[in-house]
């Protein structure tokens, strides 16, 4: 059966939002991604945690049938991230980052995972993304996420890895920064010219836009009356998107891609409704489908 | 035949954007609205200008078959607005406002206009909007625009007039400010509870959202590679929206409303492509239809 491989961080987050605050809750790109994608297809995870990582959190991932054969446990601290959100000014401030064992980690893809068809390279140094990609035999779809830090400090390497992937998933601000233009449509053309078939520009509460060489597609965000914690929204989005693509592996048409983006938006809506991975962890496939249908109604002309 | 009445400002604008600058160009809510709405149905205009108003600009409006029987010409200066746009920070700074003859103007709706079916009350003191509305016999659809200034300084009167109209068209920031909530979905419910059947929340380059009691509809903005001058986008949007509704007067269903919002988005896209009303003035109905079809493709699942 088609498997999805995710390579990225598992973390403990201290998060404060206007709604409330949490300490030492499960976070990290790979956690969010896996919780979402596993609603669609089996997920394989490659990551690293320290000896402070709680067995209960391993169990939560295992309960979603996430294959943890690629989870390294090392002496030291797990990745810790401390952040504060301001919803009015739409900002996320990183108060502290303690990379812990994640800092000098170089992912090793277990040989049993090398045949993965769908791959998500979560945010990490682009050189590491490239080195990881080279350990995978013949993936059908490789998706990449990144962050402003790498655009500023490792731009050339980032462009190199972008040339090698199928799907680039970045947020609006990053697209502008990468292409040094205010206009997203222009940035999209430049990024697609590098090589990826698909670009997804995430626009937070405004949704996401899918760009391919020939077309674009505007997906609204699923409307929520309250956002509790935006952490992990992008990675959860990627999980829904890649999960849906993997589930519909045969079809590679535009309609599948569009539906996949909407599934990403729906998964992200569950993630931000609660702290940590709690929201997406609790979302059944039936609940996802219900929101998907509601999203279609919001777009019907 | 169904007529659309617009009551609002005609102005001369000095505008500077990152692209270029213009001085003394035709602006004002009524000008933008009329240029758009007249592509759909006959437009009647009630406004005021000073003795500096150029005959050439009267001719431009008349050329669009805008009925100018309600255009007062007074001794004094026309409304002047000076603004600077910053696209990166997404701000519009008003450098100077000189109300001129618009300052103490109280609109008089000519008796020949009192039977208008579709009415747009452009941004002005809500008490004046209400006094204007009382001069119109039995309108089918009344739409209202406003601005942050009236939310701050005439909130009670604004709420009173909102109770009396069918369509409220405001931007995202104004909706938040009016309802003192960050969440647009919550603000939308509160505004609809006041009385209007329809709320349109304009989100700039992110499009617009239509809210009714039972449903919502997300309209993307028409994607442009370059915005030249955002002035008048909201009023042009209202022109396309009300124009489409007037043209399809018989049907009052949800589908008509949704299509009307898309027409508003398309008209706004023409407006922002050039300075002043030049963009929407040059847009043929055929060009509008082409963009409308393209917008549908951007939303098709």
Tell me the H-state helices in A229-284.
233-247, 254-271, 278-282
Residue B157 CB-density burial (10 A; 0-12 exposed, 13-18 middle, 19+ buried): middle
Chain A contact for B185 (CB, 8 A cutoff)? yes
The alpha carbon of residue A225 is apart from the nearest alpha carbon of chain B, in Å, by: 6
Taking residues B197-203, what's their average pLDDT? Answer: 96
- Partner residue facing A183 (CB), from B225, B299, B300: B225
b/e per residue B174-204 (b: at least 16 CB within 10 A): bbbbbbebebbbbbbbebbebebebbbbbbb
- Partner residue facing A223 (CB), from B207, B216, B224: B216
The tens digit of pLDDT for each residue in A121-163 reads 999 999 999 999 999 999 999 999 999 999 999 999 999 999 9
Contacts of A18 in chain B (CB under 8 A): 182
| Tokens read off for B148 | 């942050």
Q: Between the CA of residue A21 and those of A106, A276, B163, B183, what are the distances in Å?
A: 32, 11, 39, 19
Give A101's Cβ-side CA count (13 Å radius).
21
CB atoms B223 and A185 under 8 Å? yes
- Tell me how far apart the alpha carbons of residues A216 and A229 are, in angstroms, rounded to a whole number: 29
Residue B250 has pLDDT above 70, yes or no: no
- Partner residue facing B301 (CB), from A183, A184, A296: A296
Chain A contact for B156 (CB, 8 A cutoff)? no
- Partner residue facing B186 (CB), from A205, A225, A298: A225
- Which regions in chain A score pLDDT beneath 50? none
Q: Is the separation of the CB atoms in B178 and B236 below 8 Å?
A: no
Residue A75 CB-density burial (10 A; 0-12 exposed, 13-18 middle, 19+ buried): exposed
Q: For residue B225, what pLDDT band results from cuts at 50, 70 and 90?
A: confident
Chain B contact for A180 (CB, 8 A cutoff)? no
Which residue of chain B has the CA closest to A259? Answer: B301
Chain B contact for A210 (CB, 8 A cutoff)? no
The alpha carbon of residue A255 is apart from the nearest alpha carbon of chain B, in Å, by: 6
Instruction: Give the global pTM.
Output: 0.90
The alpha carbon of residue A236 is apart from the nearest alpha carbon of chain B, in Å, by: 21
The pLDDT score that the predictor gives to residue B182 is: 84
- Partner residue facing A262 (CB), from B88, B255, B301: B301
The pLDDT score that the predictor gives to residue A254 is: 86
Q: Is the separation of the CB atoms in A17 and A131 below 8 Å?
A: no
Chain A contact for B299 (CB, 8 A cutoff)? yes
Taking residues B281-300, what's their average pLDDT? Answer: 97
Backbone angles phi, psi at A81, to 5 degrees: -130, 135
Which B-chain residues 94-153 have CB contacts (< 8 A) with chain A? Answer: none
- Partner residue facing A218 (CB), from B183, B220, B258: B220
Distance between first and last Cα of chain A: 37
Cβ-proximal residues to B172 (8 Å cutoff; 6+ apart), any chain: B184, B201, B202, B203, B204
The alpha carbon of residue A294 is apart from the nearest alpha carbon of chain B, in Å, by: 10
Taking residues B88-115, what's their average pLDDT? Answer: 93
Q: What is the mean pLDDT of chain B?
A: 95
Residue B266 has pLDDT above 70, yes or no: yes
Which among A226, A298, A280, A300 is positioned nearest to A32, based on CA atoms?
A: A280
Contacts of B218 in chain A (CB under 8 A): 207, 218, 220, 298-299
CB atoms B225 and A185 under 8 Å? yes
The pLDDT score that the predictor gives to residue A250 is: 59
**Lowest mean pLDDT segment, chosen from A187-196, B174-183, B248-257:** B248-257
Cβ-proximal residues to A127 (8 Å cutoff; 6+ apart), any chain: A154, A157, A161
Taking residues B129-141, what's their average pLDDT? Answer: 96
Helices (H) and strands (E) in chain B, counts: 11, 13
What is A181-224 written as a DSSP string? Answer: -S-HHHHHHHHHHHS-SEEEEE-GGG-EEEE-SS-EEEEPPPP-
Chain B contact for A217 (CB, 8 A cutoff)? yes
Residues A28-31: contacts with CB within 8 Å, 24+ apart?
A28/A79, A29/A122, A29/A123, A29/A145, A29/A232, A29/A235, A30/A6, A30/A122, A30/A235, A31/A57, A31/A61, A31/A232, A31/A277
Contacts of A207 in chain B (CB under 8 A): 206, 218
């Amino acid at each position: 059966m088609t498997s999805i491989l995710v390579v990225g961080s598992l973390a403990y987050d201290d998060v404060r939002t206007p709604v409330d605050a949490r300490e030492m809750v499960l976070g990290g790109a790979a956690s969010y991604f896996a919780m979402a994608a596993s609603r669609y297809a089996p997920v394989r995870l490659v990551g690293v945690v320290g000896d402070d990582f709680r067995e209960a959190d391993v169990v939560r991932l295992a309960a979603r049938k996430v294959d943890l054969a690629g989870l390294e446990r090392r002496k030291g601290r797990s990745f810790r991230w401390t952040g504060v959100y301001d919803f009015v000014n739409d900002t996320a401030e990183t108060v502290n980052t303690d990379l812990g064992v994640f800092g000098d980690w170089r992912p090793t893809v277990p040989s049993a995972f090398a045949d993965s068809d769908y791959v998500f390279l979560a945010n990490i140094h682009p050189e590491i993304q490239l080195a990881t990609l080279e350990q995978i035999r013949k993936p059908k779809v490789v998706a990449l996420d990144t962050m402003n830090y790498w655009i500023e400090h490792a731009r050339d390497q980032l462009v190199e890895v972008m040339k090698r992937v199928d799907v680039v998933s970045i947020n609006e601000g990053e697209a502008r920064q990468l292409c040094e233009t205010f206009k997203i449509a222009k940035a999209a053309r430049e990024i697609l010219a590098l090589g990826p078939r698909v670009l997804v520009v995430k626009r937070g509460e405004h949704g996401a836009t899918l760009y391919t060489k020939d077309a674009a597609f505007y997906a609204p965000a699923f409307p929520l009356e309250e956002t509790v914690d935006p952490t992990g929204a992008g990675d959860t989005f990627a999980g829904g998107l890649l999960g849906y693509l993997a589930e519909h592996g045969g079809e590679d048409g535009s309609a599948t891609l569009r539906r996949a983006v909407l599934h990403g938006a729906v998964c992200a809506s569950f993630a931000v409704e609660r702290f940590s991975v709690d929201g997406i962890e609790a979302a059944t496939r039936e609940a996802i489908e219900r929101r998907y249908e509601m999203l279609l109604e919001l777009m019907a002309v």
